[in-house]
Amino acid sequence: MTTQILSAALPLISASFAEGETHLLIGTGSGESLSLTTRRLQTLQRSGAHAIVVNPSSDAHYKVIAARFPEVEVYNRPFQLSDLTTLGRVLTAKVVDRVYVNLPFVQCSDAKDIYAQCAKLRIPINTYQQPEHSTFNMLPTYTDPKGSGLQITVTTNGCGYVLANRIKREIINSLPANISQIVANMATLRNQVIADNNERLLKEKFYSADVGLGLGFGLDDDVWESHKLNTLIREFDATKRNQQTKRTRWLSQVMEYYPLAKLADITMQELENNAALQESNPLSSADTTENAASNTSHTDGRPLKIQKVEGEANSTVTVLEGDAAKQSHAKKGSISLVGSGPGSVAMLTIGALHEIKTADIILADKLVPQTVLNLIPAETETFIARKFPGNAERAQQELLAKGMEALKQGRKVVRLKQGDPYIFGRGGEEFLYFQEHGYEPTVLPGLSSSLTSTVVAKIPATHRDVADQVLVCTGTGRKGVLPKIPEFVPSRTTVFLMALHRAKLLTQELLAKEWDENVPVAIVERASCPDQRVTRTLLKYLPEVVEEIGSRPPGLLVVGKAVTKLVPESLVQFTDQRKHYIEEGYSDFEFDVASLIK
């Protein structure tokens, strides 16, 4: 069975701003139904456009429209082509801005003439059920009734209007209940960041518009430079310009990584970096302890009574009262470092699932995907690492502080890590830290993205006569330093983690080390998640391709001949005119998670 595409050229979908425009509706349909005209008039009112109706299909239609929409101009007469150039705004020399035709079928010849005239005048036109006489379509759109600004529209491009509506409903029903608050809160923070950045920059002696604000904060959601989402910001570089860039990128990454439902509660104070992350020694910050205290509860949800007692300099002692003190003395806290795999719930180990379901508090990496976080019981306290550009070390210390605070309270702490704890996940550092403080962690391995990504991307990391060894490297060393570049081995598959944000520099270094510029490369993003994307190219094209396709973090690079071994050769013949090949999506296994833990 083959899928038939109705048209080789797909429509260009855009959001039109119609406030103040004049939109002309010609005809009101056949028979007694006014539903289409009514819906369109309601839509135009919401958009701020001024609507004019000419040639109602009957006197009854005229009376209904005049009564229900008193602000709409209604001309109860036949349409004239001159209406296109006499009923518009003065600003447009009386030419109308947009035309909607809903004439009875017997007047289809009139629709053809109207379309021809609109085409000459470059007036966008939509003719009901006549795509050949239309230059745009109206799409089924959900508009948030709470006014957050969220709109969701779906089109099947003529393959089924009813189906498009159903898909739209399915999408809407899958959104968090607080989606309105999420969108409104992100808009508020975005506006505050931009206003504050502009205010600071305008005070500079030499103002430059090149401040790195193009991070998804404009109107063009499809062209923001997502490949710069994780661009390196050095940890302690506190110049005014870098601080502004850090705040902007932080907000971008919050939108990209944080659990969707929690975005409604992010505050400007958190965005600015609280005192625990600003101090050179975060463990000494009272703010860290206060936050840990305010988020602390029994496993049954009852709050613990916590009193802070100031001790030696740069230290805070926490004294538990009542039930909390008894609980602390009766039970020593425990901690486990748990790998959550690359993203798919099907790739969690049973041990990891058990730890998630039995934890008192979970300290999760920001890269742990929503599908895994959804497994956490609602009553379990959860903290997402605030590792954003320029504060990774401080955020790591904040996690350690929260972990120690909970352990002293006798709680079970689960440090939930993306991939495997020991594969570039600081697992060893965290093991030693807690061990030195009297708590030896239990470590549960996870499927590392460094190897699972090759499987889900149809790349055999080793393959007879193609690849006889695998090397896993990091693309970002400590404090952002590029690690030592390995030598090129033709029979090796090399995986670079945390490298996409510096693809240009990495490529330059690899070529300088005499790597083959024509060796195949795969960019694997959001491995094993429904929105997985695999992009195949050649090493010499890598920087251009990353800039063109943007970024969908987390992602990694796979380099070697195995990259193209399981893909038809015709799809991976790259030239200067065709530099990459993309495969989208991943279908997960379907099973009942709950049945595994009964």
- Nearest alpha-carbon partner for 356 in 385, 328, 382: 382
DSSP H stretches of helix in 513-558: 542-549
Catalytic position from the list 83, 97, 360, 365: 365
In 499-580, the DSSP E strands lie at: 520-525, 533-538, 555-559
Q: How far apart are CA 306 and CA 517, in angstroms?
A: 60
Q: How far apart are CA 405 and CA 536, in angstroms?
A: 46
Backbone angle region of 158, left / alpha / beta, with phi > 0 → left and psi within -120 to 50 → alpha? left
Q: Let me know how long the chain is.
A: 598
DSSP assignment letter at 119: H
| C-alpha 454, offset from chain centre | 23
- Order of strands, sheet of 334-339, starting from the edge strand that comes earlier in the sequence: 381-384, 361-364, 412-417, 334-339, 442-444
Q: How far apart are CA 317 and CA 320, in angstroms?
A: 10
Catalytic position from the list 228, 255, 498, 565: 498
- Annotated catalytic residue 498: yes
Helix (H) or strand (E) holding 344: none
Which are the contacts of 421, defined by CB distance < 8 A and separation ≥ 6?
Answer: 337, 338, 339, 415, 427, 430, 443, 444, 445, 446
- Residue 117, classed as helix, strand or coil, is helix
Identity of residue 33: S
Q: How far apart are CA 478 and CA 480, in angstroms?
A: 5
- Annotated catalytic residue 365: yes
Identity of residue 138: M
What is the torsional sign of CA 477, 481, 487, 489? positive
- Residue 336, classed as helix, strand or coil, is strand
Dump the DSSP string for 422-485. TSSSSHHHHHHHHHHTT-PPEEE----HHHHHHHHTT--SSBTTTBSEEEEEESS-GGGPPPPP
- Residue 202, classed as helix, strand or coil, is helix
Q: How far apart are CA 60 and CA 38, in angstroms?
A: 14
Q: How far apart are CA 361 and CA 349, in angstroms?
A: 19
DSSP H stretches of helix in 261-322: 268-271, 275-278, 286-294
Task: Show the tokens assigned to 303.
Answer: 């709050």
Task: Show the tokens assigned to 96.
Answer: 């109308």
Residue 335 CA: distances (Å) to CA of 364, 409, 412? 13, 12, 6
Torsion of CA 591, 593, 596, 598, to 10 degrees: -130
Catalytic position from the list 246, 387, 402, 540: 387
Which are the contacts of 450, defined by CB distance < 8 A and separation ≥ 6?
Answer: 419, 423, 424, 472, 495, 497, 556
**Catalytic center residues:** 365, 387, 498
